[in-house]
Amino acid sequence: MSRLFSCLNFVKSVNIRIFIIFVLCFVAVPIYAQEINSIQRAKVVEIISEQKNVILEEVGKGVDVLNQKLLVEIIDGAEKGKRITLSNDYIKLEKEDMFFIEKISLEGEGEYIVRERDRQFPVLILLGIFLLAIIAFGGKQGLRSVLSLVGGFFVIIYLLLPMLTKGYSPILVSVGFASIILFIAIYFTHGFNRESSVAFFGTFTAVILTGFLAFFSVYIMQLTGFDSEEASFLNVGNAVKLNFKGLLLGGILIGVLGILDDIAVTQAAVVSEIYNSSESLSAKDVYKKAMRVGREHVSALVNTLVLAYTGASLPLLLLFSNYDYPFRFIISQELFATEIVRTIVGSIGLVLTVPITTFLAVHLLKGYKGKSALGHGHRH
């Protein structure tokens, strides 16, 4: 164990400039990709005509569809400055609105279609507010958490996703990169210390156990992974045959990482604080006290997890509530059953993380006087 902590001290000496490289790659690669993509940005110069039509009147109240004929100017890409006329029945656009178009080939001729409204500016504003709030409240640790978040997204977008696209085992790839994301999230946010190591190994153990539970749940429920339109599109459009059941399992593991990391770091810090407040306590007493805190934390986080998944599935719940389907039929729908598995497996993972991390912390942090994962320093 001492050799492990010596290695961690060596890693600690690595300059934070590594993360600046992550940031540059995170920004530069999408910019390069944009240049070679058929998607281009355009601006509405003039609304030539606009007409409303009502469809599906025979099956209900009818749906209003807006048809626009627009004069637009392409503002980036190979055709920058080119003005074209196109039809739009996808989203309502006003003069000077920015949006994305795609050039497609039909019978040898190029045709432009409206793809989506340009939302990058408001997204950047919201992101800026988020970063300011995190750094203003968390200071240096807040900055480290932001950098670790960037590192995690870098791993997912530029390492995990390409390997999944090439057909590598989703389970093995997800577990492998989950450990890298976990390493970045814990050590670069909370520092290279013994508490962080306890949190890392506690979380990783819980992730492995959660993975086995997820595999068992997916198997007995006979889930296929085709619970969304995205999966259907991937099945048709991807050159390599994908394992969608494995993708579902990998998604569950990646999804629970953040919340398991949270509770593991807290439990390690709680044990450390208990030891430092009363060094006369036995390991058994410290374990009991820390577990009381862990139970309260688990209760709150389970509610958070359930409500988060429920909120994301609100349109689905509303859809089922509008039809008089029996409850057993509703929970048997793959789309609904998948969300149940995500919620229950994630909640069980939370429950497992507390005793595992607490046990490791009680035995590895006794007599430890290093920097707390909660940010408190202990000097003697």
* Confidence label for 378 from pLDDT (cuts 50, 70 and 90): very low
Cα distance between residue 124 and residue 121, in whole Å: 5
User: Quick check: 271 and 358 in contact, CB under 8 A?
Assistant: yes
CA nearest to 367, candidates 380, 356, 354: 380
* Confidence label for 208 from pLDDT (cuts 50, 70 and 90): very high
Mean pLDDT of all residues belonging to the chain: 81
Cα distance between residue 170 and residue 161, in whole Å: 10
Residue 380 has pLDDT above 80, yes or no: no
- Please give the domain boundaries of the chain with CATH numbers for all domains: 2-24+140-364 (1.20.1640), 38-118 (2.40.50)
Which residues are CB-contacts of 322 (< 8 A; sequence separation ≥ 6)?
none
Residue 3 has pLDDT above 60, yes or no: no
What confidence tens digit (pLDDT) does each residue in 112-130 have?
A: 889 999 999 999 999 999 9
Confidence (pTM):
0.74
Q: Classify 373 as helix, strand or coil.
A: coil
Q: How confident is the model at residue 62, as a pLDDT?
A: 56
Helix/strand/coil (H/E/C) assignment for every residue in 25-56: HHHHHHHHHHHHCCEEEEEEEEEEEEEEEEEC
What confidence tens digit (pLDDT) does each residue in 290-323 have?
A: 999 999 988 888 888 888 878 877 877 787 777 7
Residue 59 has pLDDT above 60, yes or no: no
What confidence tens digit (pLDDT) does each residue in 68-121 have?
A: 999 999 998 888 999 999 998 888 899 999 999 998 876 656 788 899 999 999
What confidence tens digit (pLDDT) does each residue in 260-293 have?
A: 998 999 999 999 999 988 878 889 999 999 999 9
Cα distance between residue 194 and residue 332, in whole Å: 45
Q: Across-strand partners of 72? A: 44, 84
Q: Say how many C-beta atoms besides its own lie within 10 A of residue 264's C-beta.
A: 34
Q: How confident is the model at residue 109, as a pLDDT?
A: 65
* Confidence label for 10 from pLDDT (cuts 50, 70 and 90): very low
Q: Which 8-state DSSP code applies to residue 193?
A: S
Q: How confident is the model at residue 6, as a pLDDT?
A: 44
Q: What is the mean pLDDT of residues 204-208?
A: 93
